[in-house]
């Protein structure tokens, strides 16, 4: 039985806990006395407690995040009652800032704030030797990436075959966007590249075909980006899929040349736009060159097979319904396969709170701390935007309605206005973004399109039939990707790639 048990509640089973693997990899001589046990938020805390107590650990390290803090608090309360002597150590972004007053912090023995890769092992050594620290809150110094053991050997065969494999070549972010926790992680620090690529080769050898980079600014260091892209390009085989978060206005010719050589669907770029409004950008200390950004997105869509996933945030200080609508339409016109509309969250530790008074920012006190109303967006309007975001995920991002949905705005109308009207209509029909079966989605869209004045019935039916007709996925020898994530594959098929 492990003396040290590392655990967390993942959002879903498919998400492997990257942070726990770092902690285990860096326990040094204690590694053989530790183990990882992962759960997810769909499991009852009492059942998770039963599984943890069956291991009879002396120390429990628990990762706390925005998505799991509520059930994790219940879990810790249960454990505290059943095993008062169990040493509970918390870590993760949700307890690294503003921990005063958090019930889960009150119940725990220790909290390690920040990047705990090395600090957690030091804490465990003290605890197991009978020399616990006097302080409850332990502030971990930023570790030198060269001294951090890489965790990739701790992805087991089940992870490699069935779960998202997270990797990172760097940590930190050079930008200061006030709504983002990454803005607190300065400077940007690179992991030794040769060792990192050696680990990537090992994962490829073990059958991993989907890599998700969590670096916040993958293309910041051009030399590193070129080597990593070149590494995967040289080893490309059908089904290989690599996800990067990128700085949208930094895509020079030497990167473009490499990116253009990847087959369709092999790369996904997550592009954080967040807002196009210059005044809002200045308020939240965000910097981006809109001209370069637009040129890069147009080039990606016109000249590459990259799957582009772009982000916008609704509810930022100073953003109105009109400016958000204009930003959405502008982004949609650049052609990304997906636009994720997020509602602003008041993450612990972020300086976005400095705008609370001037812009009347009101946030939900419960996770995920979404904004409920602002000076410029009342509660009812933000509720509409929240539904818009959910319904856009179903109808706009899914790839199921690539032919029919654009009928709403092909006459030159505002896509935002037309889809908002559809969203309002869906709400009136009792539809919920998380509760409409696929067949019902088709029925709803068809009914609505047939009610739009000026849309020929024959055209609507032809487009709806096109969306319902199964598309033939390209064969692997023709550049197809039989093992792509489902949504990305649908976008490729819809585009005829």
483 vs 347, residue with greater confidence: 347
At residue 497, does pLDDT exceed 80? Answer: no
Q: What is the pLDDT of residues 251-287, one digit of tens each?
A: 999 999 999 999 999 999 999 999 999 999 999 999 9
Tell me which DSSP letter residue 164 carries. B
- Does 382 map to a domain? no
At residue 184, does pLDDT exceed 80? Answer: no
Rounded to whole angstroms, how far apart are CA atoms 386 and 289?
Answer: 28
Domain of 100 in residue numbering reads as 4-143
Both 207 and 280 in a single domain? Answer: yes
In the numeric block, which tokens belong to residue 194? 């040769």
- Does 394 map to a domain? no
Strands of 114-220 (E only): list them: 137-139, 165-167, 170-171, 189-190, 210-213
pLDDT for residue 182: 78
Average pLDDT over residues 161-183: 90
Average pLDDT value over all residues in the chain: 93
Both 93 and 218 in a single domain? Answer: no
The domain that contains 214 carries what CATH number? 3.80.30.20
Q: What is the pLDDT of residues 376-417, one digit of tens each?
A: 999 999 999 999 999 999 999 999 999 999 999 999 999 999
Rounded to whole angstroms, how far apart are CA atoms 394 and 273?
Answer: 21
- Does 389 map to a domain? no
At residue 173, does pLDDT exceed 70? Answer: yes
Q: What is the pLDDT of residues 294-329, one digit of tens each?
A: 999 999 999 999 999 999 999 999 999 999 999 999
Both 165 and 239 in a single domain? Answer: yes
Average pLDDT over residues 333-358: 96
- Does 172 map to a domain? yes
In the numeric block, which tokens belong to residue 128? 């197991």
Both 181 and 241 in a single domain? Answer: yes
Average pLDDT over residues 132-153: 96
- Identify the domain boundary among 110, 143, 176: 143
Average pLDDT over residues 107-113: 98
Average pLDDT over residues 476-481: 48
What percentage of the chain carries pLDDT values higher than 70?
A: 94
At residue 486, does pLDDT exceed 90? Answer: no
Both 340 and 209 in a single domain? Answer: yes
Rounded to whole angstroms, how far apart are CA atoms 442 and 467?
Answer: 9
User: In the sheet that 110-113 helps form, which strands lie side by side, from edge to edge?
Assistant: 34-40, 4-10, 59-63, 87-91, 110-113, 137-139
Both 162 and 126 in a single domain? Answer: no
What is the number of structural domains in the chain?
3
The pTM of this model reads 0.92
Is residue 163 within 8 A of residue 209, CB to CB? The reply is no
Both 185 and 234 in a single domain? Answer: yes
List the beta bridge partners of residue 241.
Answer: 210
Both 367 and 446 in a single domain? Answer: no
Average pLDDT over residues 181-193: 83
- Does 486 map to a domain? yes
- Identify the domain boundary among 80, 111, 143: 143
> pLDDT grade, residue 434 (50/70/90)?
confident
- Does 312 map to a domain? yes
Q: Are strands 189-190 and 170-171 parallel, antiparallel or unpaired?
A: antiparallel
Task: Among 30-44, 326-340, 423-437, name the one with the lowest average pLDDT.
Answer: 423-437
At residue 12, does pLDDT exceed 60? Answer: yes
Both 219 and 333 in a single domain? Answer: yes
Average pLDDT over residues 73-99: 97
- Close Cβ partners of 449 (under 8 Å, ≥ 6 residues apart): 404, 407, 408, 455, 460, 463, 464
Specify burial of residue 495 (Cβ count, 10 A radius: 0-12, 13-18, 19+): middle
pLDDT for residue 477: 44
Both 50 and 128 in a single domain? Answer: yes
At residue 225, does pLDDT exceed 50? Answer: yes
The domain that contains 17 carries what CATH number? 3.40.50.280
- Does 387 map to a domain? no
Both 45 and 88 in a single domain? Answer: yes
Q: What is the pLDDT of residues 444-474, one digit of tens each?
A: 999 999 999 999 999 999 999 999 987 655 5
- Does 242 map to a domain? yes
CA 273-279-280 angle, 5° bins: 50
Is residue 159 within 8 A of residue 11, CB to CB? The reply is no
Both 22 and 105 in a single domain? Answer: yes
């Amino acid at each position: 039985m492990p003396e040290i048990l590392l655990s967390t509640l993942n959002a879903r089973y498919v998400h492997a806990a990257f942070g726990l693997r770092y902690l285990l990899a860096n326990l040094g001589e204690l590694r053989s006395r530790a183990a990882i046990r992962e759960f997810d938020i769909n499991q009852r805390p009492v059942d998770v407690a039963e599984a943890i107590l069956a291991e009879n650990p002396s120390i429990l390290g628990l990762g706390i995040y925005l998505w799991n803090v509520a059930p994790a608090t219940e879990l810790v309360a249960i454990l505290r009652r059943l095993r008062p002597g169990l040493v509970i150590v918390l870590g993760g972004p949700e307890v690294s800032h503003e921990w005063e007053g958090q019930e889960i912090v009150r119940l725990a023995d220790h909290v390690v704030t920040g990047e705990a890769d090395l600090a957690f092992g030091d804490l465990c050594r003290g605890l197991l030797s009978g020399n616990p620290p006097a302080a409850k809150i332990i502030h971990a110094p930023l570790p030198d990436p060269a001294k951090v053991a890489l965790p990739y050997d701790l992805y087991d065969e089940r992870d490699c075959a069935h779960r998202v494999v997270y990797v990172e070549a760097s940590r930190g972010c050079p930008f200061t966007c006030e709504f983002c926790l990454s803005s607190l992680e300065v400077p940007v620090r690179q992991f030794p590249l040769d060792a990192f690529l050696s680990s990537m080769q090992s994962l490829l050898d073990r059958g991993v075909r989907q890599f998700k980079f969590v670096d916040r600014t993958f293309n910041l260091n051009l030399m590193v980006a070129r080597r990593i892209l070149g590494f995967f390009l040289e080893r490309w085989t059908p089904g290989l899929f690599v996800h990067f978060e990128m700085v949208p206005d930094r895509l020079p010719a030497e990167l473009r040349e490499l990116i253009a050589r990847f087959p369709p669907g092999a790369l996904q770029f997550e592009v954080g736009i967040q807002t196009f409004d210059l005044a809002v950008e200045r308020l939240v200390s965000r910097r981006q060159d809109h001209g370069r950004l637009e040129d890069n997105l147009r080039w990606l869509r016109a000249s590459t097979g990259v799957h582009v996933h772009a982000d916008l945030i609704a509810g930022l200080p100073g953003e109105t319904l009109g400016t958000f609508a204009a930003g959405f339409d502008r982004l949609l016109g650049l052609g990304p396969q997906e636009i994720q509309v997020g509602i602003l969250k008041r993450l612990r530790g972020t300086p976005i709170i400095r705008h609370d008074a001037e812009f009347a920012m009101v946030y939900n006190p419960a996770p995920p701390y979404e904004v409920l109303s602002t000076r410029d967006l009342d509660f009812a309007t933000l509720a509409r935007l929240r539904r818009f975001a959910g319904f856009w995920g179903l109808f706009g991002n899914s790839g199921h309605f690539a032919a029919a949905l654009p009928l709403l705005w092909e006459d030159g109308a505002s896509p935002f206005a037309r889809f908002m009207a559809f969203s309002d209509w869906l709400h009136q029909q009792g539809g919920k973004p998380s509760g409409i079966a696929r067949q019902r989605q088709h029925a709803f869209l068809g009914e609505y399109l047939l009610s739009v004045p000026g849309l020929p019935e024959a055209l609507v039916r032809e487009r709806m039939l096109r969306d319902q007709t199964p598309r033939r996925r390209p064969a692997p020898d023709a550049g197809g990707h039989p093992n792509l994530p489902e949504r990305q594959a649908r976008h490729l098929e819809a585009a005829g790639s």
